[in-house]
Structures are given as structure tokens and as C-alpha cells.
Amino acid sequence: MIPVGGEPEGGQMTASPPGGAAQLAVPAEQAAWRRSSAWQVLRKPAAFLPVIFLAGIIVACFAAPLIAPYGPVTQNLTQINQGPSWQHLLGTDTLGRDVLSRLLYGGQASFIGVAEAMAVAVILAVPIGLASGYLQGRTDTAISRVIDVLMAVPGIIILLMALSVFGNSLTPAMIALGVLSVPSLARVVRAATIQVSSELYVAAARVVGLKPRQVMRRHILPRVVGPVVVTASILCGGALLVQTGLAFLGFGVRPPNPSWGSMVQEAGTVLYVDSWLIWPSGLIIALTVLSFILIGDAIRDSAQLSRSGQTPASRRAALRRAERAAARVSEAPREPGQPQHGEASPASPALLEVTDLSVVIPTTDGVKTVVEKVSFSVAAGEAVALVGESGCGKTVTALSILGLPPGGGHISGGSVRFRGTRIDNLPDADWRKLRGSGISYIAQEPIVSLDPSYTVGNQLIEMIRLHTSGSPRKAAVTTTALELLARCGIAQPREVFRLYPHQISGGMAQRVSIARALAGNPQLLIADEPTTALDVTIQAEILDLLHDLQADSAMSVLFVTHDWGVVADICSKAVVMYAGQVVEVSPVADVLAAACHPYTDALLRANPHLAEPGDRLQEIAGSVPPPGQWPVGCRFARRCALATDECAAKPIPIKQLTGQRATRCIRTDELAALQHTKDGSRNAPAATA
């Protein structure tokens, strides 16, 4: 199982911290059906109109005795086959009966028939599907076989048999139709049940000791209702059409009583004499069926919409977009293999210079600032860590540097300079013109970030071609690709070259991602939690690889992480973010020895690595305030042991300290004193022992 990101959110669900967009996917999906309650569905016109139409028709039909101008079988042979008039709004039929009245009365039979069919289908299919999906094993096999056989039975024959055996009435036919709909509905229920059953809360319910019946009723059924409603609404439309077909064949409601189907049939017989008569009954059937289907679609769409942008597929697509765009940035007409270092313009010693970068992202509660005035720099050959908890804006910062703020956001202020050239706010086309930029990107989940439909080799070749001018020979490109794989520590590059992403392990996939990122000889590699989803021993190997690559090629790395162990392993400078701001910038060795911001200090003390068994870990009370709820003053003040009134009064500027350190704190002296006593007390027993 892939861990839920390495970066679970810390804020409230309601105000999605954009940095945690990916992490929020799960709850959003789980809450999908709940949120897509009736009102949500109704707010869209595509659903609103059919619901109103259908409700109106049903009410009118069952109110027919009150509102119909004539009786359903009242004949007036002096006025046959008339078109619409004030007397007969929809005209009259071959026996001079009022079409509107017959439609209204006839609708009763039609809707009752649909309801019968659906009731039978739902009552049978839901328990069958639940049992099949939840109990699995032999029950499932047996039920599935029966369903398969039922699906192979020709439905219309069964219906005609039911009509002939039980007399020519609609009810047995509709019950038979309901039974015939059971297989398709049961399959939907079974599929939904299997999906829900794999959720941990179902396992938890079993561990609690609930009986299978209770687990199904309490924990699975509510989640299956959505798909059932969608399928049933489409089956309703189908049932109405079957009724029409049967009536057309002369089965169902007995004349002279009206039904929509029999009215179509009657109109059909006089089509050449009276071409009007087919319209009222034909249209009402078509519109009603359409309404059923549109309502089903709307319910399904609203469930999908509430998890839009968060499905694995779209997430994968977003990651791929990010990598492609990163590749575009690094697109450069130069010889592969030729290093580009030392080209940085002397005016700007930093390779990457981020100045007062602010990013806003639209949310349901309006546009929110998620990254505010972030400044830091990455020198050539330097490895910088962007550290913080989830929801602090570190991923948003990293993606915004690539020109790809997530979640439809945009850079609202500040600048990003790469080798002295501004690269923020450039239109897509201009990214291409930024020749020789050389920024690459690797994502957290390596397998997700590789395209599942191409081999490893193909994906590398694509990148290499993108980075090579002219049209290099295939053999040369393949050789380069194999070299890249070997350089990334893949022992059998030729074998891996031919494999698809799903055939390789997570560690291997991350090596391939790195190889792909190196295809354009980047000067800067932005790595967003590249080892979080991996096992520790694999993580260590990937870190060793990145360490060596960085040492060999003097490549700069911007490493987004929440793990101080990883920071200590490969970074020399740490940029600590909290609630959208940079709160501390320090050399890694210094910050680990003594942090100069209380948040960093607390974060380090919460790390079980540094704790002695038996000690209590230091907690940070509360959680990171989400965007939109940031305090005016110091954003950490509410959780800080050292906070005073002054801290909360007004925004705290970032303050330069000695030794290339900076902090957004006005109580650094108190912090230092506290660190002294705490570490002193911690060291004391160890010294005596």
C-alpha cells in the first residue's frame, strides 16, 4: 500500500490547503456521495430541468381526475382526428377522445409500471449484489454464474411468456422486467461493494465484531446507494421504452383504457391519415425517458465533480504536465553531455533567486493566498531543503517556480530568477525560448509520474529527443538512454529499458524518473518528496544516488521534504516554511544544532529520532492554520510557548542573523536561553550514566 503521501494535511478539511491537494483526495472522494446530496444535484440546470419536468408530469398524471378536461374513454365521434384547439389542447384521436386527458390518465399506468419494475429490481439486486461483493468466495462465484446466465436470456421472450401466462396485464410484465434488470443492477452493486469493502473502516468494523449483515447494512449499503440510484434512473427510462414496445405489439393495458404505449400504437395505425396524433404521446415518452437518463447522469457527474482534480488519473496527468513543462524549461540546443555550469551571469551569483514570491489559488470560499512573500536562493551546486509540515505551502512554492502553480492558481507577486533571468509569469511559449535554462523536476510518486502506456525506454527517448537539437540517430539516442539508466544505478539497463512502469518496483521507477529528469543535463533539479513513498533502504539508495549525482555534476537541488533526516543527509541549507511563509533560513548543521525559530525548534523536538525511549515527545499543540485563517501577527504565535502580546500584534518581518541565518522571530534570545536549559537537562542524566 502506498502511504497517504508523505505529507498529510495538518489543517482543516474545509479550507483545503493547496499544498495538500493530493492528500485531500481521499476524504473528498469518501464524502462525495454525502456532499452530492439532492440540493447539490439540483443546483445545476442539466439536472434541475429534468427533475422539474418529471415531477410535474408525475403530479399531473396522478391528479388526472382533478385536472383532465375529459374522461379517458369519453368518446365524441363528431370530433375525430382533430388537431390542437382550445377545446382539445392536444387534439382528439380516432374515436374523438381527448388526447391530453388520455395522456394524463395513461401516464398513471406507465409510471406505476416503471415503479413496479424498479421496486422488484432494487429489492432483489441490492441484497444479491451486496452479498456477492462482500462475502466473496463461493457465494460470489455462484451468484456471478447465475447472473451471467440471466444476462444471456432473451428478455423480450420472457416478457411475452409472462404476459401469456399471467394474462394480458402490465403488472406481471413489469415484474418480469424488474427480474430481468436484476443482473445489471446487481453487478453495479457488487462492483461498488467490492470497492467499499477494501476500505479500512470495513476491516475495523469486522475487528469490532459486527456481524456480516450489520457490516453490510451500516457500512457498505450507504455508500452503494449512489451508484444504485444512477443505474436505476437509467433503467427507469428503459422500462418506459419496454412498456411502449409491448403496447405497440398489443400487450399491456387493455383498450379502451389508455397507456402511453398504446397511444403510440393507435397513432401508428393512422399515421398517414392523421400525422399529428403520434406527436403528443411520442414526445412525452421521449422527454420522460430523456429526463430519467439526464437525472442519472447529473447524479453521477456531481459525485465525480466533487472529487474532480483529485482522481488518480487526473493527478497523474497533472504530475506528468509538471514534468513535461519542466522538460520544456530545460530544453536547450546544446550537445548532450556538455555541462552548462559556470554560465551563471556574474551579476547574479545565485542560480535560482526567489524574491517575495506570492501565490494565490481559487477555492470555493474565494481566492486565497497560499504562499506569501517567500524569498530564498539556491546557489550553483548547492542542495537546499524546503522543509515544513503539509499545508505550509512548500509544494506550491516548488511548482510555482516551475511556472505551474497547482489548483488553477497563479503567481500574484514577487519574482523568480533563474541564472539572472526572470522566469515567473512567462506565457507558455516563452518558457521554450528560455534556452539552456535547465530546470528538472521529479515527483513524489514515481510510478504515478511515469506514463503507464509507454516503456521506460520510450519515455527516456522522448525526453532525450526533446533535449537534442536536430534529429539524432536512433542508435545514438538509445545509447544515451542506456547510459542515463546506468548512471542512475540501474544494474541491467537493457532489461529495464524494455519494461513498462507497472513492471518495475517503486525504487526502480524513481531511478527512471531521475534518469528522465537528467536527460537535459539540468542545472537545477527540483525534487518534491522523492523518497517519501519508498521503503527506508530504497530511500537510502535514492538519496545516495542523488548525493553522488549532485557531487559529480555540481547540479543544484531544491529538495522539498518534511523529513529532517533527509535534510541532514543531502542538503546544506534549510528553508523552513510555516503557514505560507519562510520562517527560518539556516545552514543545515546550524539549524539541527540549534534552531533559531520556535517552530523549527518544536518540529525538531517532536522528532522521535532525537528522543530517548521513556521521554515524552514534545508536542506542538493544535495544527497549522489553513490559508485564509492566518493570524495578523506571527503565524506560529498561537502554538508557541514563547509568544507574547507583541508577537501577535503585527506581522513579524524576517530578520537577518549572523552566519547566513535568518528568522521570522522577535524572541530569538529567549529561544536560545530555553534551548540551553532544555538541552542541558537532557544531557545531564546522560552524562552521569
Partner 1 sequence: MRQQPLLSVRGLSVEFKRARRQPFRAVDNVSFDIDQGQTLGLVGESGSGKSTIGNALLGLVRPTAGTVLFEGRDIASLSAAERRSISGRLQVVFQDPYSSLNPSLRVGQIISEPLGVHTDLDQRQRSRAAAEMLERVGLPPSAMTRYPAAFSGGQRQRIAIARALITRPHMVVCDEPVSGLDLSAQAQVLNLLKDLQAEMGLAMLFISHDLAVVRYVAGQIAVLLRGKVVEEGATAKVNSAPEHPYTKRLLAASPAPNPAAQQRARELRRQLQTASA
By CB under 8 A, what part of segment 589-618 binds partner 1?
589, 592, 602-604, 606-611, 613, 616-618
Separation between Cα atoms, residue 158 and residue 343, nearest integer Å: 80
Nearer to partner 1, 257 or 306 (CB): 306
Which residue of 96, 155, 212, 436 would you call a contact of partner 1, by CB under 8 A? 212
Nearer to partner 1, 394 or 487 (CB): 394
Using CB under 8 A as the binding rule, the residues of this chain from 399 to 458 that contact partner 1 are none
Q: Binding to partner 1 by residue 5, rule CB under 8 A?
A: yes
Nearer to partner 1, 477 or 549 (CB): 549
Separation between Cα atoms, residue 95 and residue 541, nearest integer Å: 88
**The one-letter amino acid at 643:** A
Minimum distance from CB of 226 to partner 1 (Å)?
A: 11
Q: Binding to partner 1 by residue 135, rule CB under 8 A?
A: no
The x, y and z cell numbers of residue 547, run together, are: 548525493
Using CB under 8 A as the binding rule, the residues of this chain from 549 to 578 that contact partner 1 are 562-569
Minimum distance from CB of 586 to partner 1 (Å)?
A: 12
Q: Binding to partner 1 by residue 311, rule CB under 8 A?
A: no
Cite the DSSP H helix spans in 154-199: 155-165, 170-197
In terms of Cα–Cα distance, which of 641, 573, 572 is closest to 605?
641
8 A C-beta contact, residue 10 and residue 623 = yes
Burial class (CB in 10 A: 0-12, 13-18, 19+), 319: buried
Minimum distance from CB of 686 to partner 1 (Å)?
A: 14
**How far is the CA of 13 from the CAs of 21, 24, 28, 80, 577, in angstroms?**
10, 7, 9, 66, 20
Per-residue buried b or exposed e for 559-589, using 16+ beta carbons within 10 Å of the residue's own CB: bbbbbbebbebbbebbbbbbbbbbbbbbebe
Using CB under 8 A as the binding rule, the residues of this chain from 57 to 116 that contact partner 1 are none
CA atoms within 13 A on the CB side of 161: 9
Nearer to partner 1, 230 or 477 (CB): 230
Which residue of 535, 646, 669, 679 would you call a contact of partner 1, by CB under 8 A? 535
In terms of Cα–Cα distance, which of 627, 7, 664, 15 is closest to 372?
627
**How far is the CA of 537 from the CAs of 443, 458, 470, 540, 543, in angstroms?**
19, 28, 41, 5, 10
Three-class secondary structure of residue 581 per DSSP = strand
Nearer to partner 1, 452 or 565 (CB): 565
Nearer to partner 1, 223 or 635 (CB): 223
Q: Binding to partner 1 by residue 31, rule CB under 8 A?
A: yes
Site string for partner 1, 149-188 (x = CB under 8 A): ----------------------------------------
Sheet holding 383-387, edge to edge: 439-442, 524-528, 556-561, 383-387, 573-578, 581-587, 662-663, 655-656
Minimum distance from CB of 660 to partner 1 (Å)?
A: 16
Q: Binding to partner 1 by residue 486, rule CB under 8 A?
A: no
Q: Binding to partner 1 by residue 218, rule CB under 8 A?
A: yes
Which residue of 157, 536, 686, 687 would you call a contact of partner 1, by CB under 8 A? 536
Minimum distance from CB of 391 to partner 1 (Å)?
A: 9
Query: Which region among 158-166, 211-219, 303-311, 461-469 touches partner 1 (by CB under 8 A)?
Result: 211-219
Which residue of 16, 19, 21, 33 would you call a contact of partner 1, by CB under 8 A? 33
**The one-letter amino acid at 435:** R
Nearer to partner 1, 45 or 137 (CB): 137
Separation between Cα atoms, residue 383 and residue 93, nearest integer Å: 85
In terms of Cα–Cα distance, which of 662, 560, 637, 689 is closest to 20?
560
Using CB under 8 A as the binding rule, the residues of this chain from 649 to 678 that contact partner 1 are none
How many residues touch partner 1 under the rule CB under 8 A: the total is 75
Using CB under 8 A as the binding rule, the residues of this chain from 379 to 398 that contact partner 1 are 389-390
